[in-house]
Structure 1
């Protein structure tokens, strides 16, 4: 029996990917303008960014314990071996909840074979790992082989991103309101990354062109064999900017594979419209 792959919407992969690959989707919750939605499943990310530009302030919640219980019980009854590749435990309670529900299900089904991996990744950093796991599963890899590759990928996955408006990070407490105000006046754009699952500010740059130049430098400093790996670009409803970065990567590094997708509603609710995030492996994978 093939290995079942499970992932949550914080992977920022398109809905079609889940439908076509057979990966089980666990959507995070989004509360927007008085209504509750399920990220990706019942809410299109572009709608979130549109409303945020008009002043809406969405809030997010972890995956519902009920959804975990329902799917885990189904898999246990089917004696299906599975791997859940989860959103960083440092950014959401989703991972901890899944571990708790797995333990509950195993009380009734002691042989339930589910491995839950706290990737410490987010957005397409997580998404690229999920895609790799799906490729391996489709090729007939064993569960142990898939887990080993997932753990290697998450260990070396870089997350480098910049936001267009510091106010959205200020709402989530990532920067102070004063810093956001001053940053807006001075056209300061932060460069941030994810270290051990946590959001960490790297630098503050003035102007978009300088930000792009610095991101290229960071990729050159940290990445290896960039031309041969898949580079991920997720964007906050700014495909034009994402395409410009893709062109820069192709020209600078000779990248042959660049995967672009819009940031999902759950992560986009905190990062805001205009965010650009870059994902790549920081070790030679050839």
Structure 2
């Protein structure tokens, strides 16, 4: 039985990678300069970051409901079992829209197997779950077990991240504008994490070196069997910082498997250039 894995651009996996693995993809939408773009398809992340650096306001929207319905309907007609790993419902309305469309389709195609997981994850937190789902589907894991395993995988995913400029979080209402101004003057770098799908501040540190060191320390405090894991690192047009973090993790914990990628426009529009994020499991799942 061929199980179709579906995701959206909240996962920040390169579009070329998704195509190679046969993973169906729903792009979130990016708006600026009076135009609408499909994340990763009609616009590259760097274009978004360059626009932000030039002072443009970039806005985002959930995946197109019509295209989502077309995709789901195609698989319903084929009676192909599907697993959709969705961007956190706390950060986008995409999951709720998918559930609504699923319920509509089940009236016409009652045998259609479509499980939609609210990953409560973002960026490579979601992306690592998608990678694992594709691997397990290729190995022939039964549908129900696959869905249960990936739901657990998402539940145990840690997100530790920092931003280079607090102003972008202030624009999105994550922090006050006064905090952003003071933070910028003092070179304050916030550490945040994701809790039940929401962005939650953790700590504030001064300077990038201290931030990277603390990210690695938190990884050791929360991670489980880190050497066995695929570690995710995503960045907002700052590959140098991502590689520096990778080297620290290699040196500290001996990890050898990494997936490094650039944060897409839909998430980058809120986090901004210079964002750096780290992903790992707090409970290693042997499958």
Question: Common fold, TM-score beyond 0.5?
Answer: yes
Q: Does 1:208 pair with 2:208?
A: yes
Tell me which residue corresponds to 1:177.
177
Q: Point out 4+ residue stretches in structure 1 off by more than 6 angstroms.
A: none
Superposed, 1:215-226 pairs within 5 Å as 215-226=215-226
Aligned CA-pair RMSD: 0.8
1:218-241 superposed Cα distances (whole Å, 9 cap, x missing partner):
011101211110110000000011
Local SS of the residue matching 1:227: helix
Question: Which residue pairs with 2:59 in the alignment?
Answer: 59
Q: Name the CA distance, whole Å, in 2 between partners of 1:248 and 1:23.
A: 32
CA distance in 2, matches of 1:145, 1:123: 24
Tell me whether 1:40 sits opposite 2:43 in the alignment: no
Pairing 1:144–2:151 present:
no
Q: Which structure 2 segments of 5+ residues have no match?
A: none
Q: Does 1:196 align with 2:201?
A: no
Listed one character per residue, the Cα deviations across residues 89-122 of structure 1 (whole Å, up to 9, x for unaligned) are 0111000000001111112112111011111000
What are structure 1's unaligned runs of at least 5 residues? none
Counting matched residue pairs gives 286
1:76 maps to 2:47: no
Mean CA deviation greater in 183-192 or 44-53: 44-53
- CA deviations over 1:129-179 (Å, ceiling 9, x no partner): 000000001111111121121012111100000000000000000011000
SS of the equivalent of 2:228 reads coil
Residues 228-258 of structure 1, C-alpha deviation per residue, up to 9 Å, x if partnerless?
A: 1011000000001100100000000000101
1:124 maps onto 2:124 in alignment:
yes
The alignment partner of 1:50 has SS state of: helix
Pair 1:29 & 2:36 matched: no
Which residue of structure 1 aligns with residue 256 of structure 2?
A: 256
SS at match of 1:218: helix
Listed as ranges, the matches of 1:92-171 within 5 Å are 92-171=92-171
**Corresponding residue number in structure 1 for 2:274:** 274
CA contact (8 A) 1:229 1:285 kept: no
Task: State the shift of 1:17 in Å.
Answer: 1.1
Q: Structure 2 length normalisation: TM-score?
A: 0.98
Q: Equivalents in 2 of 1:266, 1:50: separation in Å?
A: 14
Q: CA deviation at 1:32?
A: 1.3
In the TM superposition, what is the alpha-carbon distance from 1:285 to its structure 2 partner?
Answer: 3.4
Aligned residues of 2:153 and 2:285 also touching (Cα < 8 A): no
Residue by residue, what CA displacement relative to the aligned partner does 1:40-77 show, whole Å, maximum 9, x if unpaired? Answer: 11111111111111111110000111011101111111
Matched, 1:14 2:14: yes
